[in-house]
Amino acid sequence: MKHISFIIALTIASCVWVSDSVAQVSVYGFYSTYTDPTNPIVLGQYEAISGEWLEWDTLDFASGVVMGSSAFDAGTESYMFAGIGSPPESSSIQFWDYDVIDNQIVNNPSFNQTINAIQHDMATDRLLALGTYAEDSTFIDFGNGTGYWEYEWGSELIELDTEFGAVESIAPITGINGVVLGATAFDSDNNVYALVGIDNSGNQKFIQLDGTTGEVISSVNLQIPSNMGFNELECFILGETFLGIKRPYGAPNPTTETTALVSVDPLTGVLTNIVELPQIYAFSPNASVFEQSTGLFIMLYYDLNNQSHILVVDPVEAEVVADHEIEGSFIELQINNREFMVAAYGTANGIDENGHTSSTIQAWPNPANQFITLQGLNTPFAIYNSAGQCVPHEMKNGVIDVSNWNSGYYLIADQSGRTARFLIQH
């Protein structure tokens, strides 16, 4: 199996990327050719840049997949999904944890409740999700001692323990009666679980929740026409923004707004077009991923002829990088951001890969406009801009001249996996 990997250069003035196949981005998902519905599910790995299949695995134990149920745990490098066991007539909804490195099921926990919209917090290496709970109940009495309970269900933010199948309730989510499939994301920098939900008046709301307490940080109406919807929310951590797809309901119409990749202002709900994508007619829930190291948005879509494509968009350059036609369908897309996780946050327990206790890298002043001073580094180290690109630099006595650098956020990462962020503001 091929993986992108990077090394921090031995000279502090440059960065070197090393990959088996240059600029590849591996995407995982379920593949079907539509040819024979009795064929077992296939978990595939697809190179989004070159359009090549590297390998796949037949999942004989599953006969179906729950839409919008998949996630990727970068800590364990496993693809997780809910589905129906095989044979379907004798199986219930199950949950599997599939190791994409060793190509095997490592766990099959039973959570005993509906779970979806799983998000991985890379900073603390934990899994958050949405669960359902009985908000209210009424007994419908038929008389003669017969009847049934009718439940009203609510959504809540939960934390998952896949090893033991345990669910910890964090907080109920109030003010909405539904969450848009494929419209959740997690900002590991700021500990924010974000979602798009529908309130009782039919408004599409962008909501930010504290990932520890579930407290509502912000809740605003999306500024979007009534004939358009929002899907495929992703968080561009280095770019400090949320991204998603704005699309018209039904077939595209030249007189209406077209489908577009947009950025979201979480405090105002304003959507800003980045790249218009008139070729998109439809897509499935969980059809997109975001590769944090390269800063690429990747999704599956269907064109007006119902032909499926894998699309790669660079939101910083506002351009389409690749658009591949594929046979059949490739759904429940997920991506392995393990290398970004280690570079940006180190290991969750604060111990680096060499077994040394991590300490803090200090950068000041912050924000800076002429010089930045760094302390506590374990060299070699690298600096990345908000697009995830390596920035050449020269340091003398712990000081770097940044007077000619573009304004924006930058990330420092040393060989121990420790990081610090700073802002250049001219």
pLDDT at 223: 95
Mean pLDDT (the chain, rounded): 80
Q: Which fold has domain 4-345?
A: Neuraminidase (2.120.10)
Mean pLDDT of 30-48: 79
* Residues 213-262 pLDDT 10s: 999 999 999 999 888 999 999 999 878 899 999 998 876 665 667 899 99
* Residues 136-190 pLDDT 10s: 445 556 676 666 555 445 688 999 998 888 889 999 988 887 888 889 999 998 9
Q: Measured between alpha carbons, how far is 260 from 246 in angstroms, rounded to an integer? A: 5
Residue percentage of the chain with pLDDT more than 90: 33
pLDDT at 169: 92
Mean pLDDT of 378-394: 81
Q: Where are the domains of the chain?
A: 4-345, 362-424
* Residues 362-381 pLDDT 10s: 777 777 888 888 877 766 78
* Sequential DSSP letters for 170-197: EEEE-S-SEEEEEEEEEETTTTEEEEEE
* Cα R_g (the chain), whole angstroms: 23
Q: Measured between alpha carbons, how far is 235 from 253 in angstroms, rounded to an integer? A: 29
- How are strands ordered across the β-sheet holding 216-221? 178-187, 192-198, 204-210, 216-221
Distance of CA 358 to the CA centre of its chain: 26
b/e map 201-216, b = 16+ CB within 10 Å: eeebbbbbbbbbebee
Residue 384 — pLDDT band, cuts 50, 70, 90? confident
* Residues 115-128 pLDDT 10s: 889 999 998 899 99
Q: Which of 32-46, 125-139, 331-345 bottoms out in mean pLDDT, i.e. has the lowest?
A: 125-139
For residues 396 and 23, which has the higher predicted lDDT (pLDDT)?
A: 396
* Residues 270-293 pLDDT 10s: 999 999 999 998 888 889 999 988
